[in-house]
Amino acid sequence: MLSRVSRSLSSLGPRAFSSSLGSFALRPSVVSPPSLRALQGFRTMSTFKQEPHKLLVIPGPIEVTDEVLFANAHPSMSHVSPDFIPVFGDCIRMVRQVLFAQDAQPFIISGSGTLGWDQVASNLVEPGENVLVLNSGYFGDSFADCLRTYGAEVDELRAPFGKAVELASLDVALRSKKYKLVAFTHVDTSTSVLSDAKGIAEVVKRVSPDTLVALDGVCSVASEEIQQDAWGIDIVLTASQKGLGTPPGLSILTASKKAIKVFEERKTPVTSYYASWRKWLPIMRAYEAGTAAYFATPPVNLIYAFHASLTQITQRAPSLAERFRLHREASARVKREAEALGFRQLPLDVAYAANGMTALYFPEGVGAADLLPRLAKRDVIVAGGLHKDHKEKYFRIGHMGVSVVDPQRGDVDKVITALKESLAEAQASKNV
């Protein structure tokens, strides 16, 4: 059996793989335990390494491990293959572990994180129903726009730039009108503002317990703690390319039992074809049960990569609790070092500052054109500003996933050193 795997992988050419056995070891559900133990040594001895490249520390996509990238290069496989079915099923189960959501129904669909908005808007909100959006940046604007596109009547609570919506304001809004759903962005990638997910859910449960709570976790899942069941969050939507450490292309969503019941009891047809849970719910249930089903072809290779990353996150060191601690520590270090250099954080209070990314205002006399190319010259790629009203004033650094949990890589050290050198050079060139 091993020789067949070796021949299959080798047929892809020497540039595709440096080891013929690595991806086989990524599929524990299709080999017996003794075989898995025997193969683990081959995986760790694999000589497969990514090509040298600039360090990607934007707030997504992020760096991925060699093992994840290797899994993404798995030979082409049928989406109904007996080998693939348990891989997809494992992904569904492991998503629950990441979100502490044993009672939730995961959906893993080909698409960007944006598809999660469409799923919420088309499956849970019927045209004319009231939705409240807690808006802390660019992605709050977009979530509200998506909901309106599907016919929702949307009210917004807009936070001042650099802040999250206050819980007291949410309390007042919920008492003034009946809302089908409250939606918020846990970490708005445009501002690095972190909203109090647990607090929001507590207010909704206390004031309007029938109202659904939808959390946009594209930039928070696996870098910020989310206790979906315990906190009473009905929807967590995210994507593969940020804290989950997988290349872009998967829309991932978990729906509570309450949300599924609301969906099943809706009075009007679902307002999307591709995003319809009437199409996808049987697919997810089938793969988790160990059988194949078809609506649209899943991205097989990407799911192999996702499986590899989820395995690292849920079954290996560091534990989830340790992973969250490492993100908090890396975040505090980057922010502390940046402030010592004269940068100022965009969030107005540390309570609003995300742990998977940092947004910094440029110092006086220095702009994006002065700093970002100098960072790139030092092989560090960061992101410019995104919020339409302030994007020229600040830039963003991502610190999540493998760059944080594997200190031997030295990614955070490299970012800090490059930031110091680039700023000094920029200031010297302008006599600042």
**Which regions of the chain are under pLDDT 70?**
1-46
CA distance 249 to 306: 10
Could you tell me if 405 and 318 are in contact, meaning their C-beta atoms sit under 8 angstroms apart? yes
**Separate counts of helices (H) and strands (E) for the chain:** 16, 15
- Smallest CA-to-CA distance from 375 within 331, 341, 332 is with 341
CA distance 139 to 191: 9
Would you call the peptide bond into 61 cis, given omega within 30 degrees of 0 as the criterion?
Answer: yes
pLDDT of 66 reads 97
pLDDT of 47 reads 81
Give the angle 185-237-311 at the CA atoms, nearest 5°.
Answer: 125
CA distance 416 to 432: 20
Which pLDDT tens digit goes with each residue over 89-133? 999 999 999 999 999 999 999 999 999 999 999 999 999 999 999
| Secondary structure letter of residue 51 according to DSSP | P
Global pTM?
0.90
* Distance set, CA 80 to CA 154, 245, 277, 287 (Å): 41, 25, 20, 9
Which pLDDT tens digit goes with each residue over 164-185? 999 999 999 999 999 999 999 9
Q: Around Cβ 402, how many Cβ atoms within 10 Å? A: 18
pLDDT of 46 reads 61
CA distance 88 to 77: 12
pLDDT of 271 reads 98
- Smallest CA-to-CA distance from 265 within 223, 210, 309 is with 210
pLDDT of 244 reads 98
Could you tell me if 306 and 240 are in contact, meaning their C-beta atoms sit under 8 angstroms apart? yes
